Structure 1
Amino acid sequence: MSKTVRWGILGASNFAKRQMAPAIHLANGGELTAVATSDPAKAADFVAMAPGLRIHDSYEALLADPDIDAVYIPLPNHLHVEWTKKAAEAGKHVLCEKPIALNAAEIDDLIALRDSTGVLIAEAFMILHHPQWTKAQALFRQGAIGKIARVGATFSYNNPDPNNIRNRKNIGGGGLRDIGVYIFGATRFVTGEEPDRILSTRIDWDGDVDTTAHLTAQFPSFHYTGLVSMRMAPYQEIVFHGDAAVMTLTAPFNAGVYGEARIALSGPEQTTQVWRFTADNHYVRQVAAFNATVQGGADYACPLEFSRGTQAMMDMVFDAVR
């Protein structure tokens, strides 16, 4: 493989255009080499960003390109496993949007494929690459909040568009699959714990799509409350509440877009320490970390085993609903 990781993107989605293509272009250790789309007009913005970009008219053609080392997959959720497998079988490393699968058993298949092919397969859970989250995990492990009792996580936005892929059940839509991964995965990352059981669920439906989900769960050391919604005003926050302090992240999932990434640690006598993270782009850091792992560097921060744990919690929620 070349010293530089040469990337291809399967599809010309708006998210790929706005976030991940620029991140691939800017991250150390890689370059954006090709995009696959059957619509040349959709490729124009990608070409403007990376002159000399190759445009393939099919996903299969891009996977057959010997000059591509890694692919990014921003396709609708129900296509993630299929095209991750095809890319890995073609010898390409894969960074696939979340959720990488629709149930934990599918991730077991991907782990087996990763191990048999030797390629890196990972879910694009970008927040784990942001220093806000590594600092939050470090504070927790240092005992900064004392003995944990409660975690509360909220992530909402308002998107009633019936044509949006998030509002189409048949392609893996729904609020839990879209943003539940954040409130579940972030909690698991900081605490290092897995849920024992789902205590309660209340789901609002629009047809067959879950639009708002309230749930509670019991972890070994704490009680968990979560809310995700695609029909409420934009809001995001996660709180880790211990017997010594409260740790609050005020823009935990869309740092720099929703607001400034910040950690506030409120301790005894109303004293508060604040850490601010103003300049870090978690998409760029994610791609740089992926490149470094492909090139023989450190272990990747979000392996498939971690993603499987988040999906297992998602499965537990859907089982509780049923």
Structure 2
Amino acid sequence: MDALRVRWGVLGCSAIAERRALPALREIDGSEVVGVASRTTERAERFAAEHGGTALSYQELVDAPDIDAVYLSLPNSLHFGWAERALRASKHVLCEKPMTVSADQTDALVALAAERGLVLRENFAFLHHPQHDVVRALLERGRLGRLRTFSSAFGVPPPKPGDIRYDPALGAGCLLDVGVYPIRAAQLMLGDGLTVAGATLRVDTETGVDMAGHALLVSENGVFADLEFGFQHSYRSRYALWGDAAHLSLERAFTPPAEHRPQLLLEEQDHREEFTLDGADQFRASLASFATAVRETRGAEEEREWLRSARETARLVEAVQQTAVRVRQRGAVPS
């Protein structure tokens, strides 16, 4: 591997790969798309013609000696198998969320990456937006007093009929697609040691796919995390922190456009303050951070933190699935 260059393979020509990953990779110094793989040769060839690289099969991409890192955006149920193959082929892996569909699978990938000294990350791009650093700084400075509740919601309108997010065989459902964002945000703000106190999932009676959900988590020091998510909503992407001195809220928390200037609203009993922040391209920042980790040291403390967080997210998702009361709804999946 060239110490100044990261040669990428794009495994899966998904919508997010086309809209966000490939344009971002073109803007990152020292990154080059070498190979592109899709379910069909035609789609891979179209992506390669538009974005660079050579059209390959999945296995050809994993085996290619001139690829250092794999950006993986296949359907959820395929993440584990192809991430494992890539790691065994000594490729670093940036995997779209969720990393896998089970805690055991995530644990296995984390152990394999650690054993082989490879960078493995779950691509929660929102973690790279500086707006969350401002929120944490206000919290740590005591502006909210003692934190009592973290709440978060991520809901999107129903995907179109036939979307893979309705296919149980491909790891479908809103928990793995949008619910993981509030869960990961709760980890960011409240730390490890969260437990699931209760959960509800609204599921389609025919497919068993979860269409909406609500979970209550509790931190080790007693802070509640009230999380909502689903496919049956108008768009909403937010979180709020409520302490005994003030309430802080942030809209468009998870998928803000690069040009969006975030606004934090801080409300005290007799005072209201707004903070307008700079915009940021969080997807580009995520890929750039991963590329830097690949170029620099393997097994650094920062990477152990990423691996630990991925395992914690998978554990919490599984706990929500196991705890949830399921409310059945006929015809919840559009046809």
Alignment root-mean-square deviation, CA: 2.0
The aligned runs of 1:64-75 (5 Å cut-off) are 64-75=63-74
| Structure 1 Cα separation of the partners of residues 259 and 211 of structure 2 | 20
Contact 1:151 1:224 in 2 (8 A): yes
Contact 1:29 1:288 in 2 (8 A): no
2:265 match: secondary structure: strand
**Number of the residue aligned with 1:277:** 278
The aligned runs of 1:25-104 (5 Å cut-off) are 25-37=26-38, 38-50=40-52, 53-56=53-56, 58-104=57-103
1:56-115 per-residue CA deviation (whole Å, 9 max, x = no partner) reads 1x1111112111000000000001011100001011100011000112222211121012
The aligned runs of 1:218-237 (5 Å cut-off) are 218-219=218-219, 220-237=221-238
Give the 3 Å change call, closer, same or farther, for CA 187–109 of structure 1 in structure 2.
same
The aligned runs of 1:1-322 (5 Å cut-off) are 1-2=1-2, 3-37=4-38, 38-50=40-52, 53-56=53-56, 58-199=57-198, 201-206=199-204, 207=206, 208-219=208-219, 220-256=221-257, 260-278=261-279, 280-296=280-296, 299-300=302-303, 303-321=306-324
TM-score, with normalisation over the residues of structure 2?
Answer: 0.89
| Structure 2 Cα separation of the partners of residues 46 and 268 of structure 1 | 56
Contact 2:261 2:276 in 1 (8 A): no
Q: How many residues align?
A: 317
Detail structure 1 runs of 4+ shifted over 4 Å in the superposition. 257-260
Contact 2:150 2:239 in 1 (8 A): yes
| Structure 1 Cα separation of the partners of residues 238 and 181 of structure 2 | 11
| Structure 1 residue identity aligned to 2:21 | M
| Structure 1 Cα separation of the partners of residues 310 and 235 of structure 2 | 25
TM-superposed CA distance for 1:127, in Å, is 1.0
Bigger CA drift: 262-271 or 295-304? 295-304
TM-score, with normalisation over the residues of structure 1?
Answer: 0.92
TM-superposed CA distance for 1:295, in Å, is 1.2
Contact 1:251 1:258 in 2 (8 A): no
Structure 2 gap segments, 5+ residues each:
326-335
| Structure 2 residue identity aligned to 1:138 | A
| Structure 2 residue identity aligned to 1:288 | A
TM-superposed CA distance for 1:263, in Å, is 2.2
| Structure 2 Cα separation of the partners of residues 181 and 60 of structure 1 | 29
2:264 match: secondary structure: strand
TM-superposed CA distance for 1:25, in Å, is 1.6
TM-superposed CA distance for 1:121, in Å, is 1.0
TM-superposed CA distance for 1:209, in Å, is 0.5
| Structure 2 Cα separation of the partners of residues 144 and 246 of structure 1 | 9
Bigger CA drift: 6-15 or 78-87? 6-15
Contact 1:29 1:292 in 2 (8 A): no
1:255 match: secondary structure: coil
Bigger CA drift: 300-309 or 124-133? 300-309
| Structure 2 Cα separation of the partners of residues 48 and 319 of structure 1 | 43
| Structure 2 Cα separation of the partners of residues 232 and 258 of structure 1 | 25
Structure 1 gap segments, 5+ residues each:
none
